[in-house]
Structure 1
Amino acid sequence: MNNNSSNIETMNVALIQQFQRYLQSERHYSPHTVRNYLFELSRIQRLLEHATPWQQLSTEQLQAVLSRLHRKGLSARSIALTLSAMKQFYRFLQREELVINDPSVTLTAPKQAKPLPKNLDADSIHHLMEIDTDSAIAVRDKAIMELFYSSGIRLAELSALDQSSFDDDLTQVRVLGKGNKTRIVPVGKMAREAISHWLRLRNNINCEDNALFVTHQGRRLAHRSIQARINKWGQQQGVSAKVHPHKLRHSFATHMLESSADLRAVQELLGHANLSTTQVYTSLDFQHLAKVYDGAHPRAKRTKEK
């Protein structure tokens, strides 16, 4: 390393040390965040092709660093952290009037893949529902779980249901969804039977209002209580994954798509405003859809060997 490169490196390190003091004393960032930012800035320096003062780096040079990290196999999340450290550092240099233009301002992090929703397979759902309905609470909880899986409604939607939300034969339920939008959702046979059983017992409880699902004191069942009860049954039934209302909703959506492949219909049932929200479920059942394609498409079928 020649003297010029050594001097540049010394100046760059000094700026990073000033940045460290700024994060600690003025921004009061956690030690963990400070360490992460300092590590990322040091890594950027190592990946530069030539020793260059921070104040003279171009957007193209910084983009080249991010590209090298991508080629090294770093995840989108890791690269996003590198970019965050870079942007924070240049904001600091601007604050100190050490740079006029921020070369990082137009840089963007690669899109991070959204984690796919988790769902229970049909066997796990069947096992979860096979609970002993030897008490009114168990009957109520079974009706709750059956309705979640049968209709794919949200936790808040289920908690807000009244007895009058259903038609006379319980085949449909009127749900008030996000944005105060009402939709009609079908109710399956198993859910209808479970709800009917619960209603016969609910009539013996002195209830405060017309709420469908109530405590034994007659009060509308709260969100947290519903979550806790479903998790309790999941544990008791030996379901390996943690069970919660959203997982039953995910399972409903996934199994509907596997059987019908009708994305628009599932969108309506779930109450999604945008189809793109529903499309996340298409990633879950790709293997199933691929098998259907291989078995159905004329140009996908293999000819038998003679």
Structure 2
Amino acid sequence: MEPTEALPVEPLGPVPTAFLEHLRVERRLAERTRIMYAAALRRLQAAMRDQTLAVDQVRPHHVRRWAAQLHGQGLGSRSIAIHLAAWRGLFRWLGREGRVTSNPVDGLRPPKGQRPLPKALPVDQAVALADHRDDSGENDPRLDARDHAIVELLYGCGLRSAELIGLDLHPGGPGGGWIDLTSGDAEVLGKGNKRRVVPVGAAAIAAVQAWLALREQLARPDEPALFVSQRGTRLTGSQMRRRLAARAVQAGLPSHVHPHMLRHSYASHLLQSSGDLRAVQELLGHAQISTTQVYTRLDHQHLAAIYDAAHPRAKRKS
């Protein structure tokens, strides 16, 4: 039999869409993570198509080659790690579905790279952002109250972006979290569907109460979310990031600010004051203490800067 001409193939077909839906519904992965995974799956799709490989034909040597190509294209170790995590998760899911018998990504690790320190604001800048109120008259006072409450919760409670967006007015809502203003506690749904309770400070409680007094003017009658957009529906991550960045500019902060920077600031400032690594781990919801230990490096940098600026023996020759 003569060989037939190779036809263009879609080796994964509708699989990526089904897998991403699984991540959204069952794994409850954050929107930003799903976006990164979707990009990684598109690269996998293209690589398999280039070699006309079906999903059950992918082997470890293929994945190693593709990872090396990502490195050659200039992707850093963290980006490659995200790609491998997405691919590994896909093949694991395909195995449960009976589509493949082995996972070609198991055991493969990204190239090691220096782990960057999380970016945290100095205490004075974080406090200035939390205290900032827009008195210009150009901003909707309802949105100003909402954004003030968001900053207070991000910096005052160390919440992740998805955890804050997932807060509802009442317990048992679809977002998975809520704030008990009477007890001063917030119950949030974190990574891996793990729940934790974090204390909410007086400043954050007052800010949330001020927002709640105006919330009904924006929210749709049946909307369960604590924080809503101008359209009255649950605020999205991209909307919150844009508003926070603009608010930081209004407050006079010199650097770009994103929600996770306030979580880093919360952890760093708390650790500087208390020195209790285990307590900070619990408050942040870290599964591993090693994840929290990165903030001790930040604290060391802070102390080293003070030493360099103040100690007479710290002056170094240029």
Q: Distance in 1 between matches of 2:287 and 2:186?
A: 19
**Which residue identity does 2:167 align to in structure 1?**
L
Specify the alignment match of 1:198 in structure 2.
Answer: 211
Distance, in Å, in 1 between the alignment partners of 2:168 and 2:260 is 20
8 Å CA contact 1:149–1:251 kept in 2: the answer is yes
Match of 2:134 in 1: 132
Q: Which residue of 1 aligns with 2:155?
A: 149
Matched, 1:187 2:196: no
* 1:138 aligned counterpart, secondary structure: helix
Q: What residue identity is the alignment partner of 1:196?
A: Q
Contact 1:170–1:192 at 8 Å: present in 2 too?
Answer: no
Count of residue pairs the alignment pairs up: 197
**Is contact 1:147–1:191 with CA below 8 Å preserved after alignment?**
yes
Q: 1:205 Cα deviation (Å)? A: 3.2
Q: Give the Cα–Cα distance (whole angstroms) in 2 for the partners of residues 157 and 167 of structure 1.
A: 15
- Which is greater in Rg? 1
Deviation at 1:166, TM superposition (A): 1.4
Q: Which amino acid aligns with 2:271?
A: L
Aligned partner of 1:221 in structure 2 is 235
Shift of 1:221: 0.3
For the 8 Å contact 1:172–1:186, the answer to whether it is kept is yes
Between stretches 162-171 and 244-253, larger displacement belongs to: 162-171
Within 5 Å, which residues of 2 pair with 1:1-306? 33=72, 111-129=112-130, 130-132=132-134, 135-164=141-170, 165-169=178-182, 171-207=184-220, 208-286=222-300
- Kindly tell me: are residues 170 and 192 of structure 1, through their superposed partners in 2, closer, same or farther at Cα, counting changes over 3 Å? farther
Deviation by residue 1:111-144 (Cα, 9 ceiling, x = unmatched): 5321100110111112212122661001100100
**Unaligned 5+ runs, structure 2:** 1-50, 52-64, 78-108, 171-177, 307-318
- The TM-score, its normalising length taken from structure 2, stands at 0.56
Runs (4+) off by over 4 Å: 26-30, 108-111, 287-292
Q: Which stretches in structure 1 are left out of the alignment for 5+ residues? A: 1-25, 37-76, 78-107, 293-306
Moved more, 267-276 or 123-132: 123-132
Query: How far did 1:288 drift?
Result: 5.5
Q: Does structure 2 conserve the Cα–Cα contact (< 8 Å) formed by 1:258 and 1:289?
A: no
1:147–1:170 distance in 2 versus 1, CA, 3 Å: farther
What is the Cα-based RMSD across aligned positions, in Å?
Answer: 3.2
Cα distance in structure 2, aligned partners of 1:257 and 1:238: 26
